[in-house]
Amino acid sequence: MKTSFIPIDYDYFDFEGRNYAKIIGRDEKGKRVCIIDSCPAYFWAILNQELKQKEIEKLLDKINQIQLDVKGRKTKVEKTEIHDKNFLGKPVKAVKIFATNYKDLHDIASHLGMPEIEKRRGYDLGFITHYIIEKEIKPMHWYEISGEVLNNSLEFGGIDSNLDVDFCIKLEKAKEISDKKFPPKGLAYDIETDELKIGEGEILMISLVSDNFKKVITWKKSSHKERFVEYVKDESELLEKFVEYVRKVSPDFLVGYFSDGFDLPYLKARAEKHKIKLNLGLDESQPKFTRGINLSGKINGIVHIDILKFIRTAYSQYMKSETLSLNEVAKEFLGDSKKEFIIQHSSKLKEKDWNQYYEYNLHDSVLTLKLFEKFWPDILEFTKVVQEPVFDVSRNGLSKQVENYILHNLEKFNEIPEKRPTHEEIRTRRGNKKVEGAFVFEPKPGLYENIAMFDFTSMHTSIIISMNISGPTLLEKSDKNAYTIEAENKKYSFSEKQGFIPLLLKEIFEKRKLHKKEYKKNPSPITKARSNAFKLLSASIHGYIGFFGARYYSRESSASILAFVRKFNKQTIEKIQNSGYEVIFGDTDSVGFIIGSKTESDVKKLLKKLNSELPGIMELELEGFFKRGLWVTTRGGTFGAKKKYALIKKDGKIKIRGFETVRRDWCRLSRDTQNKIIKSILSEGNEKKALKYLKEVIEKIKERKIDKKDLIIKTQLKKPLSEYKAISPHVIAAKKMQEQEIPVSQGNLIEYYLAEIDTKKSLVRDKVKLPSEKGDYNIKYYLEHQIIPAVENIFQVFGINIKEVIEGKKQMTLRDF
DNA sequence: ATATACACGGATCCCCTATTTCC
DNA sequence: GGAAATAGGGGATCCGTGTA
């Protein structure tokens, strides 16, 4: 049989001692197809390069005789081949050692302690990764495949008999073809329970949302019935109904929000309790969870996606939302929010509340599905680039993505993969001294007019590519054509001959450029997110090289990249200064300066000139022209504060970096006040109106006219309560919550305010009260610790001492009497 | 468990000295 | 009068959160 096919979910099984990949996907008509395929299992033994032909032959004989009996499985070396390969960019002779089962490679490798063998590699990729590399059946690419139909066949122990697919095919041939349409079929789900702890309460309802499908299943009856609500007898039946509907809708992607950590484990726990099989898998299997602290729930044949995880790795750095709660994320990306509903224990809910609860539950799934649809293009892009299954790509951290991308492209370079570092290696790497980072220019505080900003496009990546930096390209001895840089009082040189890592990064670099262009042409939260996602992937490459867990870790490379970053940043600053401009800002890959008496076209000419002097693919671009910009001193007051500035464009658009306004651990009042003051100063060009506004705010505070919700301070609990050495206010607040039996755990955003207290205790933490606790806000604290620190440095730019102004005003009122 | 370094700034911790309190 | 308790100053450290 011949058909089109797009692989979506990968799994594998053993049959008669061999490994088989089992891939679920669709054909172009939307029929569900499963293909079964085998794949040779092998790894590499890199030989001592001085071996003679005879010695090699003798060695091969020895290897060919290896037979093992591990974990009750008999295994042996099936065959060996000699190949000319590359390892870390250098040509090597290597033996390709084939075994029956991929899982045995590690054991065989550990029996190869002969002196003729220098290194053993390629046994630690994981079967799926190995399979995708070997057979080039890449996720989310289209293929024309042919093979034997296994429907109702007894092959592989009758694999098809309980597999819910339209066709099951034993793959014979596959040819990549051009992209076809693939509408991803997503089904979002969300549960509501009485208790938050996994499995401890009952599941009250489950919502399911897909295209033209909306359902809330519940066993909690109310007299009013919405169309989408379906009642069942009890929790057991609810679980069964859930499975039934998932099977009926038959999605490619079952999507939840924090569902790896909550919904799916909860469902599983309750199913176990009721002794019900949660057979969601296409093969009727139940969800499986990876071990470890971070659970991942896998369903056979259906890709379970916890969209929160993808958002967290790919976007969170660039998001405005203070938390990654569904509500805030939906607001930011969808302009939609959760339905209003105060969750209480079901026993406390009144008859009329239930309808609201159903709607609330349903809407969560609606939002989750929308988020999935919004981010699907990004997940798809990442999957195609990284070439790992969607399940993994949607969960992996950035280092994993970069590494997988490299691993999947080594064959082009005839490269043998490097191994994962051992625990011992990781320990030493972690113990290494930190490499010196980027250069940050100390700004001169002030309010400036007409500013231009330049920044380097993907600076680290373009340096890696242009200067050919990587572990394998690092030279022991410099030659005259090498790229050389001084770092840590040493000279590091990288070969002129292009290495495989720098070459591979080019693709990501180009994708990043493309998406940035797309965003500039059509700005929307999504194009912005996409552009940033690739910016992140691109920027992570440098992080990856310096990451202790990386296969291709190279401390020297990392130090060199950063040394180049410093060099080019400083050089650019100098060149701009020499062209007659005053530089006022510089951080890592960007420079800001005053245009002064020159024109914008002069600036553009300068940019062109600077670019012509840059090596390789390095590129400086115009970030923008700004009408005004504000820089302040540090809190101490002596230096210009780095990483803190505000700019206004001609069209009034404001860009604020680093100020308290953008920090979530300051109360709303301080942030709003500072924000208004900055905006006023930037648009007016002076501080007059801002000062007036500040005085009003201060009066309001003194008169206790400020709404308590604007005084709430939010701080994240970054670790378990017991691990804190310093008992800071938010730790106290968390402890208070615990006492009141409000669940608190690591990662929660703790909210509190500072209240007036009777005792003379002087620590801030003694004034902490939870938002629910009654009390008057502490006027002195909010003035001296929230408002003044947030605005003091800004007014200092104009020579105004805010403390004196406040006190001076007091004197005036005294004189008035 | 799993990208990096630089930076700001609040709050506590900890050590010290000076002052106050207690017997 | 002398010991113990307390206050507060200042640097070190912890901690969270930004920028790039």
Q: What is the CA radius of gyration of chain A?
A: 31
For residue A167, what are the β-bridge partners?
A33
Q: Is A741 left (phi over 0), alpha (psi -120 to 50) or beta?
A: left
In angstroms, rounded to a whole number, what is the distance separating the alpha carbons of residues A64 and A805? 88
Q: How far is the CA of A770 from the C1' of B22 (A)?
A: 39
Q: Do A268 and A275 form a contact (C-beta atoms < 8 A)?
A: no
Q: In sequence order, which ranges of A496-553 are alpha helices (DSSP H)?
A: 500-521, 525-545
Q: Do A64 and A125 form a contact (C-beta atoms < 8 A)?
A: no
SS (H, E, C) A718-751: CCCHHHCCCCCHHHHHHHHHHHCCCCCCCCCEEE
Q: Is the pTM of this model over 0.85?
A: yes
Q: How far is the CA of A588 from the C1' of B1 (A)?
A: 29
Residue A263: its H or E element: helix A263-273
Longest dimension (CA), chain A: 109
Upper half-sphere CA count for residue A600 (Cβ side, 13 Å): 9
Residue A808, pLDDT score: 57
In angstroms, rounded to a whole number, what is the distance separating the alpha carbons of residues A130 and A465? 27
Instruction: Tell me the nt nearest to A716, Cα to C1'.
Output: C16
Q: Which residue is closest, via its CA, to the C1' of B10?
A: A785
Q: Do A217 and A233 form a contact (C-beta atoms < 8 A)?
A: no
Q: How many CB atoms lie within 10 A of CB A127?
A: 21
Q: Residue A807 — pLDDT band, cuts 50, 70, 90?
A: low
In angstroms, rounded to a whole number, what is the distance separating the alpha carbons of residues A752 and A774? 12
DSSP secondary structure letter of residue A782? I
In angstroms, rounded to a whole number, what is the distance separating the alpha carbons of residues A31 and A164? 11
Paired tokens of A337: 């929010």
Q: Do A420 and A544 form a contact (C-beta atoms < 8 A)?
A: no
For the segment A607-627, the average pLDDT, to the nearest whole number, is: 95
Tokens 């009390």 -> residue: A775
Whether A536 shows a pLDDT value over 80: the answer reads: no
Paired tokens of A461: 């990546």
* Tens-digit pLDDT profile for residues A773-792: 999 999 989 998 999 999 99
Read off φ and ψ for residue A93, nearest 5 degrees: -95, 135
Q: How far is the CA of A24 from the C1' of C20 (A)?
A: 41
Residue A812, pLDDT score: 44
Q: How deeply is A705 buried, as exposed, middle or buried, from its count of CB atoms within 10 A (0-12, 13-18, 19+)?
A: exposed
Residue A814, pLDDT score: 40
Looking at residue A751, its amino acid is E
Q: In sequence order, which ranges of A65-216 are alpha helices (DSSP H)?
A: 105-109, 127-135, 155-158
* Tens-digit pLDDT profile for residues A428-485: 998 888 889 999 999 999 999 999 999 998 899 999 999 999 999 999 988 889 999 9
Paired tokens of A309: 């995880």
β-strand pairing of A303-306 with A446-456: unpaired
Instruction: Tell me the nt nearest to A657, Cα to C1'.
Output: C19
Residue A514, pLDDT score: 86
Read off φ and ψ for residue A325, nearest 5 degrees: -65, 150
Read off φ and ψ for residue A92, nearest 5 degrees: -140, 160
Q: How far is the CA of A619 from the C1' of B11 (A)?
A: 43
Instruction: Tell me the nt nearest to A550, Cα to C1'.
Output: B2
Q: How far is the CA of A763 from the C1' of B22 (A)?
A: 26
Cα–Cα nearest to A410, from A87, A117, A737: A87
Q: Which residue is closest, via its CA, to the C1' of B4?
A: A543
Q: Residue A159 — pLDDT band, cuts 50, 70, 90?
A: confident
What is the SS3 assignment for A545? helix
Q: Which residue is closest, via its CA, to the C1' of B5?
A: A437
Paired tokens of A296: 């991942």
Long-range pairs for A722-728: beta carbons < 8 A, 24 or more residues apart: A727/A765, A728/A765
Read off φ and ψ for residue A117, nearest 5 degrees: -100, 125
Query: Helix A525-545 and helix A398-407: axis angle, to 10°?
Result: 70
Instruction: Tell me the nt nearest to A645, Cα to C1'.
Output: C19
Q: How far is the CA of A640 from the C1' of C7 (A)?
A: 34
Cα–Cα nearest to A669, from A716, A715, A709, A729: A709
What mean pLDDT value characterizes chain A?
Answer: 91
Torsion of the alpha carbons at A760, A766, A772 and A778, rounded to the nearest 10 = 50
Q: Which residue is closest, via its CA, to the C1' of C13?
A: A726
Q: Which of A234-238, A485-489, A723-727 has the highest mean pLDDT?
A: A234-238
Whether A529 shows a pLDDT value over 80: the answer reads: no
Q: Do A394 and A220 form a contact (C-beta atoms < 8 A)?
A: no
Q: In sequence order, which ranges of A343-448 are alpha helices (DSSP H)?
A: 353-386, 390-393, 398-407, 423-431
Instruction: Tell me the nt nearest to A541, Cα to C1'.
Output: B3
Output the CA–CA distances (angstroms, integers) from residue A699 to A314, A521, A666, in the order listed: 44, 46, 20
Residues with Cβ < 8 Å from A170, sequence gap 6 or more?
Answer: A35, A36, A37, A147, A148, A149, A150, A155
Residue A307: its H or E element: helix A307-314
Residue A274, pLDDT score: 96
Residue A816, pLDDT score: 38
Q: How far is the CA of A170 from the C1' of B15 (A)?
A: 75
| Chain B, protein-covered positions (CB within 7 A) | 1-13
Cα–Cα nearest to A516, from A545, A538, A543: A538
Q: How far is the CA of A727 from the C1' of C14 (A)?
A: 9
Q: How far is the CA of A757 from the C1' of B20 (A)?
A: 24
Residue A411, pLDDT score: 94
Q: How far is the CA of A633 from the C1' of C11 (A)?
A: 21
Footprint of strand C on the protein (CB under 7 A): A 317, 322, 438, 455, 587-590, 643, 656-658, 662-665, 714-719, 723-726, 728, 730, 749, 760, 762
Paired tokens of A377: 């293009």
Q: How far is the CA of A544 from the C1' of B4 (A)?
A: 8
* Tens-digit pLDDT profile for residues A679-706: 999 999 999 999 999 999 999 999 999 9
Full strand arrangement of the beta sheet holding A768-769? A713-716, A749-754, A768-769
Instruction: Tell me the nt nearest to A634, Cα to C1'.
Output: B8
Distance between first and last Cα of chain A: 99
| Chain C, protein-covered positions (CB within 7 A) | 7-8, 13-20
Q: Is A17 left (phi over 0), alpha (psi -120 to 50) or beta?
A: left
Q: Do A472 and A499 form a contact (C-beta atoms < 8 A)?
A: yes
Q: How many CB atoms lie within 10 A of CB A158?
A: 12
For residue A230, what are the β-bridge partners?
A217
For the segment A654-666, the average pLDDT, to the nearest whole number, is: 93
Instruction: Tell me the nt nearest to A396, Cα to C1'.
Output: B2
Whether A532 shows a pLDDT value over 90: the answer reads: no
Cα–Cα nearest to A375, from A532, A265, A180: A532
In angstroms, rounded to a whole number, what is the distance separating the alpha carbons of residues A715 and A719? 12
Give the whole-number percent of chain A exceeding pLDDT 90.
68
Q: How far is the CA of A420 from the C1' of B2 (A)?
A: 12
Q: How far is the CA of A689 from the C1' of B12 (A)?
A: 38
* Tens-digit pLDDT profile for residues A717-772: 999 998 898 888 999 999 999 999 888 888 889 999 999 887 767 788 888 999 99
Q: How far is the CA of A719 from the C1' of C8 (A)?
A: 32
In angstroms, rounded to a whole number, what is the distance separating the alpha carbons of residues A264 and A261? 7
Q: How many CB atoms lie within 10 A of CB A598?
A: 17
Q: Which residue is closest, via its CA, to the C1' of C18?
A: A658
Paired tokens of A11: 């799994």
Give the range among A70-74, A229-233, A418-422, A739-743 with minimum mean pLDDT: A70-74
Q: Which residue is closest, via its CA, to the C1' of B12?
A: A726
Long-range pairs for A382-388: beta carbons < 8 A, 24 or more residues apart: A382/A314, A382/A533, A382/A537, A383/A139, A383/A140, A384/A138, A384/A139, A384/A140, A384/A141, A385/A507, A385/A508, A385/A511, A385/A537, A387/A132, A387/A138, A387/A139, A388/A128, A388/A129, A388/A132, A388/A139
Torsion of the alpha carbons at A367, A370, A374 and A379, rounded to the nearest 10 = 90
Instruction: Tell me the nt nearest to A727, Cα to C1'.
Output: B12
Whether A813 shows a pLDDT value over 60: the answer reads: no
Residues with Cβ < 8 Å from A598, sequence gap 6 or more?
Answer: A580, A581
Residue A385, pLDDT score: 87
